[in-house]
A and B are shown apart, each in its own frame.
Chain A
Amino acid sequence: MVDKVKSTAAEALAGLLFDGMTIMAGGFGLCGIPENLIAAIRETGVKDLTVVSNNCGVDGFGLGILLENRQIKKMVSSYVGENKLFEQLYLSGELELEFNPQGTLAERIRAGGAGIPAFFTKTGVGTLVAEGKEVRDFDGELYVMERGLVADLSIVKAWKADAEGNLVYRKTARNFNPMMATAGKACVVEVEAIVAIGELDKDGIHTPGIYVDRLVKGAVFEKRIERVTTRAREAVGENAAAGVEI
């Protein structure tokens, strides 16, 4: 039996990286990012990467460390506002950027992983996003054609896995990870725990192991929070927005 479980992030990525490749990286902001695999990619120095990820980390963490090391040539993202170095590199022309609406990005990846080369959506009709793309009328409404997206490698963060590669994500750390797991020619996953076969609830598996090629238990999970926001203890019963950003 093929052993998907590797002992380090470097080992999990061995032989899969090459200059100029396309990598999908899961996560929304810093939530659910494969931080150990990103750090290992930095160590290899592989460069001219096209990275598909909703965001690009922050200065000094997440994908931000690949920017610092000038390993990224192009980003495909929906929002990159949290990263000063990104702005500098983009404005100086060192970094290319393709913006996709967030839902279009998610669907492009889902479609790519499902073998669907293109689909039509209302999102972006009449905007810059639709320029140069086929727009078609279905039942009296206009839709723009978007292409499915695949990558040479997807790097994914899940909460738990078994040796089969069955994955369970936790709370909003799921985000783009399940689709990306399906859309990489190779898929490498880091998890917080690898449990015994049979321990995961078979009805509760989010990503079946067929999509997962290699698996590693992350050495360190810093799990930084971008905007720690809390409410006062006495403010019981107040609604969601009544918080304080720290």
Chain B
Amino acid sequence: MAWTRDDMAARAARELRDGFYVNLGIGIPTLVANYIPDGVSVTLQSENGMLGMGPFPYEGEEDADLINAGKQTITELDSSSYFSSADSFAMIRGGHIALSILGGMQVSEKGDLANWMVPGKMVKGMGGAMDLVAGVKRVVVVMDHCEKSGAPKLLKACSLPLTGAGVVDLLITELGVFEINRGKTPVRLIELAPGVTLDEVKAKTEAAFEVAL
């Protein structure tokens, strides 16, 4: 049994360390907040200008002036702070955020990430993704192992326009976990999801990788 979306989020949550300031992307990365390990306290940054994101509000208590980067209503904590977009990205680009967990379209064995545009389709924009991968100390990508067509997404080189070159530290898919190390060392498969075979991973992966299970 390959991992579910929630399993992948729970695995990504194991990358959190006590005291980390963390930025979570949209999609599966948002679910990571549900799996923060016991004894680990992290501060969630929202790049639209908040540190210390609280849970979603109760119905009737939504505040139009309080949203996350996915434009969802959220709440504040006693420890929260607000700041401008320039201050927010100074945190991100200045290397003050310990960990970013993002979705991906393609990852290459060189540590490149593509997650913002598909040529020929309407492009929505990169938002803060290019800043996050360029500035955050450790970048974890959570994505499906293959496209719906079955085409691999862990590649020798990305075919889509890049979000960042040599920026991915760790990749989590429904099949397992890969150490990418920003392309500085060969890709290593370090975990397999339960019931997933090495042969299956090899068949569904274009990138070269070492096995270090």
Question: Would you give the shortest CB distance from B38 to chain A, in whole angstroms?
Answer: 12
How many chain B residues touch A (Cβ–Cβ < 8 Å)? Answer: 64
Q: Which residues in B have their C-beta under 8 angstroms from that of A171?
A: 50, 63, 65-66, 76, 82
In the complex, which residues 194-246 of chain A have their Cβ closer than 8 Å to any Cβ of chain B? Answer: 206, 223-231, 233, 238-246
CB 8 Å contact bits of A72-112 with B (1 = contact, 0 = none): 00000111111000010011000000010111111101100
> Does the CB pair B84–A240 fall under 8 Å?
no
CB 8 Å contact bits of A169-200 with B (1 = contact, 0 = none): 11111111111000000000000000000000
Residue B195 at the chain A interface, CB threshold 8 Å: no
In the complex, which residues 27-63 of chain B have their Cβ closer than 8 Å to any Cβ of chain A? Answer: 30-36, 44, 46-50, 53-59, 61-63
Q: Which residues in B have their C-beta under 8 angstroms from that of A176?
A: 84-85
> Does the CB pair B83–A225 fall under 8 Å?
no
**Stretch in B141-149, B158-166, B185-193 with 4+ CB within 8 Å of A:** B158-166
In the complex, which residues 142-191 of chain B have their Cβ closer than 8 Å to any Cβ of chain A? Answer: 161-166
The verdict on A172 contacting B34 (CB below 8 Å), with A122-B93, A126-B164 known, is no
Bound form: Cα–Cα A104–B129 in Å:
11
Residue B127 at the chain A interface, CB threshold 8 Å: yes
Q: Which residues in A have their C-beta under 8 angstroms from that of B62?
A: 225, 228-230
Q: Which residues in A have their C-beta under 8 angstroms from that of B67?
A: 28-29, 31, 172, 225-227
Contact of B73 among A81, A229, A233 (CB under 8 A): A229
Q: Which residue of A lies closest to B133 (CB)?
A: A123
Contact of A103 among B31, B58, B83, B92 (CB under 8 A): B92
Q: Which residues in A have their C-beta under 8 angstroms from that of B76?
A: 171
The verdict on A239 contacting B130 (CB below 8 Å), with A78-B125, A79-B125, A227-B73 known, is no
Bound form: Cα–Cα A69–B40 in Å:
51
In the complex, which residues 96-154 of chain B have their Cβ closer than 8 Å to any Cβ of chain A? Answer: 112, 122-131, 134-135
Bound form: Cα–Cα A172–B81 in Å:
10
The verdict on A230 contacting B131 (CB below 8 Å), with A31-B67, A77-B125, A172-B46 known, is no
Residue B64 at the chain A interface, CB threshold 8 Å: yes
> Does the CB pair A241–B49 fall under 8 Å?
no
> Could you write out 25 A-B pairs with CB less than 8 Å apart?
A29-B48, A102-B85, A103-B93, A103-B131, A106-B89, A107-B86, A123-B130, A123-B135, A125-B134, A128-B161, A128-B162, A171-B65, A171-B76, A174-B83, A178-B84, A223-B65, A224-B64, A228-B72, A229-B73, A230-B62, A230-B73, A239-B35, A240-B33, A241-B30, A246-B59
Residue A54 at the chain B interface, CB threshold 8 Å: yes
Residue A8 at the chain B interface, CB threshold 8 Å: no
> Does the CB pair B162–A239 fall under 8 Å?
no
> Does the CB pair A78–B84 fall under 8 Å?
no
> Does the CB pair A31–B48 fall under 8 Å?
yes
Bound form: Cα–Cα A112–B131 in Å:
19
In the complex, which residues 49-63 of chain A have their Cβ closer than 8 Å to any Cβ of chain B? Answer: 54
Question: Would you give the shortest CB distance from A48 to chain B, in whole angstroms?
Answer: 22
Bound form: Cα–Cα A190–B140 in Å:
40
Question: Would you give the shortest CB distance from B126 to chain A, in whole angstroms?
Answer: 6
Name the residue in A79, A82, A105, A242 with the highest tally of chain B Cβ atoms < 10 Å from its Cβ: A79
Q: Which residues in B have their C-beta under 8 angstroms from that of A230?
A: 56-59, 61-62, 73
> Does the CB pair A227–B72 fall under 8 Å?
yes
The verdict on A231 contacting B30 (CB below 8 Å), with A28-B67, A31-B65, A78-B125 known, is no
> Does the CB pair B71–A106 fall under 8 Å?
no
Q: Which residues in B have their C-beta under 8 angstroms from that of A109?
A: 86
Q: Which residues in A have their C-beta under 8 angstroms from that of B201?
A: none
> Does the CB pair A101–B65 fall under 8 Å?
no
Bound form: Cα–Cα A102–B36 in Å:
27
Question: Would you give the shortest CB distance from B178 to chain A, in whole angstroms?
Answer: 21
> Does the CB pair A242–B128 fall under 8 Å?
no
Q: Which residues in B have their C-beta under 8 angstroms from that of A244?
A: 56
